[in-house]
Amino acid sequence: MENLIVIKIGGNAMNELTEAFYTQVMNWRMMGKKVLIVHGGGNKITEFSRKLHLPVRKDNGIRVTDFATLELTRMVLLGFAQPQILQHLADHDLSAIGLHAAINHLITGTCVNRERYGFVGEITQVNEEVFASILETDIGVLAPLAIDEEGSWLNINGDTAAASIASLLQAEALYLITDVPGVLNEGKVLPQLDANQASLLQQQNIITAGMQPKLRAAFHALQNGVEKIMITNTLSQAGTAILKEGAHQYDYTISNL
């Protein structure tokens, strides 16, 4: 989709967005860019799970999701996290619409491994026509959920969902907004990272479990045609650019998007 920018906001980063974030989104809209925000809510899902005495377990960075946790996840994402983001956008005079998988078959998925992860899925198809129509006039705010061919809901890791959607819609840029300023090595942000470097840093336990799902998602998007990918905690300054092996870092100033 031409002029599309996909932004993933993690649950922890959601309440720490600065005025610069909203200003940049407004500038993009004024430039004719389409903006899709994929939001998480993992911190609240964990909080409410513990209050309800539901198991909280992650495997390889993925939340293991039994049926009760799936129902709670839907309630948190659609009833708490998404309305909160929509309110913040409205407070900054940004027109936005909440989106989820059940709107005109917006997102279809399939289960990853029911025995290992429960009701966790991956995205197989998106309704590009509906996305295009909505994003032409409004910012989309999307919960990372999918529905399979039998009509069952599936929980999708937020970074994975954002990367898959950016790939399927052929976005021009993907931002993975997190609570750290980029991929860190000894407390310093790595300005760029390719797959070989990432693998080496994981072997050295420099990149640990929290960042690994983001990197898997980022390299998936890179391999599937998304050219500009950034892991950062803000839109106002560069974080870590994800590059193909042997590539030189491009000029990643916001104004060039």
CA distance 221 to 166: 7
**Of 239, 248, 227, whose CA–CA distance to 191 is shortest?**
239
**Torsion of Cα atoms, 64 then 68 then 73 then 78, to 10°:** 160
CA distance 87 to 15: 12
According to the annotation, is 155 in a ligand binding site? yes
H or E stretch at 192? strand 192-193
Where helices occur in the chain by DSSP H, the ranges are 19-30, 42-51, 67-76, 82-91, 114-117, 128-137, 158-168, 195-203, 212-223
Contact between residue 177 and residue 214 where contact means Cβ atoms under 8 Å apart:
no
According to the annotation, is 42 in a ligand binding site? yes
3-class secondary structure, 205? coil
Contact between residue 190 and residue 183 where contact means Cβ atoms under 8 Å apart:
yes
Pairing assessment for the beta strands 62-63 and 96-99 based on DSSP bridges? unpaired
Residues at the binding site are 41-42, 63, 155
Residues at the binding site for substrate are 41-42, 63, 155
